Amino acid sequence: MRSRREFITLLGGAAAWPLAAHAQQAGRLPTIGVLGAGTPSLWSQWVVAFAQRLDELGWSEGRTIAIKYRWAEGRTERYAEIAAEFVRLKVDVIVTGGAAVPAVKQATSVIPTVFAVADDPIGTGLVESLARPGGNFTGLSVQQTELAGKRIELLREVVPGLRRLAIMVNVDFPAAVLEMAEAQTVAGRLGLQVVASAIRRVEDIAPAFEAIEGRADALYVCGDALTATYRIQINTLALGLRLPTILPTRDLVETAGLISYGANFPDLFRRAADLVDKILRGAKPADIPVEQPTKFDFVINLTTAKALGLKIPEAVLLRANEVIE
């Protein structure tokens, strides 16, 4: 439907800003290419937030800018295909996030690129430093590894007698592997036994649950496009095994997960729009500092808790940003 594909109808005034002016002189509107690593339904709230912020900044879809949305739907091979398409189309700015970011990095060293979500952008070679990224990339860093300890602590609070923890990770996504390593370290320090559950594609999910059946008291899911895209399947199988889950974002917990803790993604995408605006006004990504999350969400799904026979402590409920009933 149109609201999922195009998202915005703006008010807008023309802007004589450098990239915009250059594109208009070439006979076309400056174009933003949005590479969604997941599905339109998963990303809808995020890109709506992005589009609304562009609206506030005065960019009018079809008048002062064009936006092209492409969806990889959790399929790794699509990242490179879409990135190559945007290079062929000579878009003026690419906006992406998560597992798709490295594919854009490989596809172009010229087109300004804003990552709305990226884990450890220095360690993964996206930028030279947070203060001065260098190159053609800037954006917002989500340090998932730094949140691993907090997530496990929350899980211990809501799962009495937690002793064995399964960790599900897409081993083809380097940032998720780093998160798993940190989660393993924290779990070991807390005296928990850890069972690693590796997946690479959707076909691996069901066998992964078969492998951990009877070996875990709870499940930690590392964030990436694959686990997000197939969140319903993951949560359904976890419920079938009566495994409480800790997840990275609200979008995953609302589909029968138990709890989530992580950065507020709509806010990150709003802030990504600010960075795109700066680039369209003539700023270079190399000079735009990479920003950090400032809003975090702790969400509890009480329906799932009841299905699992868990009573969430009142003190934990009071700390939650949202309780789903």
In terms of domains, do 250 and 282 share one? no
In terms of domains, do 46 and 193 share one? no
Residue 16: CATH number of its domain: 3.40.50.2300
In terms of domains, do 167 and 242 share one? yes
Pick from 319, 199, 204: nearest CA to 259: 319
Do residues 246 and 260 lie in contact, with contact meaning Cβ atoms separated by under 8 Å? Answer: yes
In terms of domains, do 118 and 165 share one? no
Confidence of residue 292 (pLDDT cuts 50, 70, 90): very high
What pLDDT digit, counting tens, does each position of 143-169 carry?
A: 788 899 999 999 999 998 999 999 999
In terms of domains, do 30 and 85 share one? yes
Query: Residue 184 is part of which domain span?
Result: 144-263+297-324
Do residues 297 and 261 lie in contact, with contact meaning Cβ atoms separated by under 8 Å? Answer: yes
Do residues 129 and 122 lie in contact, with contact meaning Cβ atoms separated by under 8 Å? Answer: yes
In terms of domains, do 134 and 150 share one? no
Number of domains in the chain: 2
In terms of domains, do 272 and 198 share one? no
In terms of domains, do 108 and 175 share one? no
In angstroms, the CA 312 to CA 296 distance is: 20
Is residue 322 scored above 80 in pLDDT?
Answer: yes
What pLDDT digit, counting tens, does each position of 219-256 carry?
A: 999 999 899 999 999 999 999 999 999 999 998 999 99
In terms of domains, do 15 and 34 share one? yes
In terms of domains, do 36 and 163 share one? no
In angstroms, the CA 64 to CA 112 distance is: 18
- Which sign does the torsion angle of CA 8, 62, 42, 313 carry? negative
In terms of domains, do 160 and 131 share one? no
Identify the bridge partners of residue 291 per DSSP, sorted by sequence position: 140
Do residues 34 and 67 lie in contact, with contact meaning Cβ atoms separated by under 8 Å? Answer: yes
In terms of domains, do 174 and 83 share one? no
Mean pLDDT of 282-306: 96
For 50, the token pair is: 């992005």
Taking the model in full, what pTM does it have?
A: 0.85
